[in-house]
Amino acid sequence: MNNDLRFTRQCVRYIANFDLSELSIIKTDFLVIGGGAAGFRSAIEAGKHGKTILITKDKLGESNTLYAQGGIAVAKNAGDQVIFHVEDTLKAGDGLCDEVAVKVMVEEGIDRVDELVSWGADFDKHDNKLAFTMEAAHSQRRIIHAKGDATGAETERVLIRKASESNNINFLDRKFVVDLITFEDRCYGAILWDEENSRLSAIIAKATILAAGGLCQIYRHTSNPEVATGDGYAIAYRAGCEMTDMEFVQFHPTTLYVQGAPRFLISEAVRGEGAILVNENGERFMPFYHELAELAPRDVVSRAIVAETTKTNTKCVYLDLRHLDADFIKNRFPTISEKCSNYGIDISKDLIPVQVSAHFMMGGVKTNLNAETNIKGLYACGEVACTGVHGANRLASNSLLESLVFGVRAAKSAVNDIDIEIPNSIFSLKYKREENLSSNIDFNVFRASIQDTMWEKVGIIRNKEQLEEAIAFFDQYGDLNPKARSNFEVQNMLDIAKLIAESALIREESRGAHYRSDYPYQDNDNWNRHIIFARA
């Protein structure tokens, strides 16, 4: 069954009034929005063919990529094969992966990783060969890593350096994208908010590549950095992009749980190297929940942790590495070791308190194999895009691989727009939205309310009553009249929270990362399909 369900809903078209004739305008061939792996890799490719501007809303390099610990899954180890990697990805995706897209990612990912190595990526080695580790739901040791647990930072370092070598690529940091500019069903760039000068400006582009992924700051507890407020999803949705699979938010089973401190990711690779999970009583529990125990898919481990903390009436469970070689563990996971030591935890001697946190969005802007959206001139890649490779549950360490592969594909598609003529009428466009009663809210308080509502009612385990309560709360608000970056972020969080809650309410089954306590079983007869939303 593949009859996708399509819905339209009202939303604020533009969240700021603007008249392009009154704004400072920069013209370019290609505009890349987002400074993670997908953004930089697409900029490198686009820069071969024309003038390219890459913008980030914070300092250059501040993104989910920077904090990725585990590694990059790639079928290069002896004995591994492309087909094995494909099969593992499809199995994790729980019936909703696009098999062709998965094959593209796995096959082309080998070349993308080889490029990184040729550009100077310093991945960890064993006997002068790439070192591979195991992670949950993989059948092979195929995860490469850098500096133990700093793979994202190393990947980003290499990509930024490579992009900086191009005379065609310019970086603009601390520029927040308010909305995309569309005219006659084509995207021509974006409206920006300059926080330093408190004013709007615009970049007019022949092609725009959206790579601003990450939205898990809409949850109270998350492994994501503060910049991950769902901006890329929201601006695409308001511009008319089709959004799909938004109910599938992945929760990472193991983030450091210290009262009063932000959650810190404890990589999947820690369990891949032999760490076990124990409850408050010191009892190992994962073998009772899944045959793969600690290496079960993330959704299984996450729900098992919730079950154990409920059963024992405690706030967390624990990772136990004490049976492993102390020097190996500290050398293999130096970032995690240092972070834990800041809280008085020696990972070789002490149990690590962990709890589940919101981590990754499997859904997003619907694209085809060439990263094309339903809006001409607009392409999407990385976490913000739904290419079909993750399905209902992402296989660990496939995200960086997807970013590299589809970052290149997005740029190659965008190059086809290099010869389009930008109509003169673009430069005199005016957009105006109506004010409403949501104008005078306290944005800081409302932000926390969104996060609390999502965590409590649209979280790891969901049901109809809670989802309807969340939707009713969100539906009280529309245009929030934002006038600063932090306020724009709250508007975006609201828009995306609504989509996730509504998608979760519609899917009356449990599949992958989406678990309904009132529909606890998978229903392939009725729900082996996608839910798609678009702006009315």
Q: What is the pLDDT of residues 235-281, one digit of tens each?
A: 999 999 999 999 999 999 999 999 888 888 898 889 988 999 999 99
Examine the pLDDT at 1 and tell me if it is beyond 60.
Answer: no
Once rounded to an integer, what is the mean pLDDT over residues 106-110? 98
Q: What is the pLDDT of residues 292-310, one digit of tens each?
A: 999 988 889 999 999 999 9
Q: What is the pLDDT of residues 371-393, one digit of tens each?
A: 999 999 999 999 999 999 999 99
Question: Which pLDDT score is estimated for 396?
Answer: 87
Q: What is the pLDDT of residues 203-225, one digit of tens each?
A: 999 999 999 999 999 999 999 98
Q: Are strands 430-431 and 18-19 parallel, antiparallel or unpaired?
A: antiparallel
Examine the pLDDT at 198 and tell me if it is beyond 90.
Answer: no
Question: Which pLDDT score is estimated for 389?
Answer: 98
Pick left, alpha or beta for residue 352 (phi over 0 → left; psi -120 to 50 → alpha; otherwise beta).
beta
Once rounded to an integer, what is the mean pLDDT over residues 331-337? 90
Examine the pLDDT at 438 and tell me if it is beyond 70.
Answer: no
Q: For 155-164, give one letter per residue: b (16+ CB within 10 A) or e.
A: bbbbbbebbe
Q: For 107-144, give one letter per residue: b (16+ CB within 10 A) or e.
A: ebbbebbebbeeeebebbeeeeeebbbbbbbbebbbbb
Look-up of token digits 């935890």:
345
User: Average pLDDT over the chain, rounded to whole?
Assistant: 93
Q: How far is CA 164 from CA 58, 120, 470, in A?
A: 18, 14, 44
C-beta of residue 512 within 8 angstroms of C-beta of residue 498: no
Q: What is the pLDDT of residues 172-194, one digit of tens each?
A: 999 999 999 999 999 999 999 98
Which of the two residues, 529 and 436, has the higher pLDDT score? 529
The highest-level CATH class for domain 27-248+362-428 is: alpha beta
Residue positions counted in the chain: 536
Which position among 41, 298, 303, 447 bears the catalytic label?
A: 298
Question: Which pLDDT score is estimated for 237?
Answer: 97
Q: What angle do CA 168, 171, 176 make, to 5 degrees?
A: 135
Identify residue 76 by its one-letter amino acid code. K
Question: Which pLDDT score is estimated for 240?
Answer: 95
Topology of the domain covering 252-357: Flavocytochrome C3; Chain A, domain 1 (3.90.700)
Neighbour count for residue 463 (Cβ, 10 Å): 16
C-beta of residue 103 within 8 angstroms of C-beta of residue 399: no
Examine the pLDDT at 67 and tell me if it is beyond 80.
Answer: no
Once rounded to an integer, what is the mean pLDDT over residues 443-470? 97
Q: How far is CA 305 from CA 161, 296, 322, 384, in A?
A: 40, 12, 20, 28
Q: Is 433 among the catalytic positions?
A: no
**Poorest-pLDDT segment among 73-87, 116-130, 215-229, 424-438:** 424-438
Question: Which pLDDT score is estimated for 371?
Answer: 98
Q: What is the pLDDT of residues 2-42, one digit of tens each?
A: 689 999 988 877 888 889 999 999 999 999 999 999 999 99
Domain ranges for the chain, please list them: 27-248+362-428, 252-357, 444-535
Question: Rounded CA gap, 13 and 434, in Å?
Answer: 10
C-beta of residue 207 within 8 angstroms of C-beta of residue 379: yes
Question: Which pLDDT score is estimated for 306?
Answer: 93
pLDDT band at 439 (very low <50, low <70, confident <90, very high): low
Question: Rounded CA gap, 386 and 373, in Å?
Answer: 10
Question: Which pLDDT score is estimated for 290?
Answer: 94
Examine the pLDDT at 340 and tell me if it is beyond 80.
Answer: yes
Q: Which CATH entry fits the domain spanning 444-535: 3.40.50.300, 1.25.40.10, 3.40.50.150, 1.20.58.100?
A: 1.20.58.100
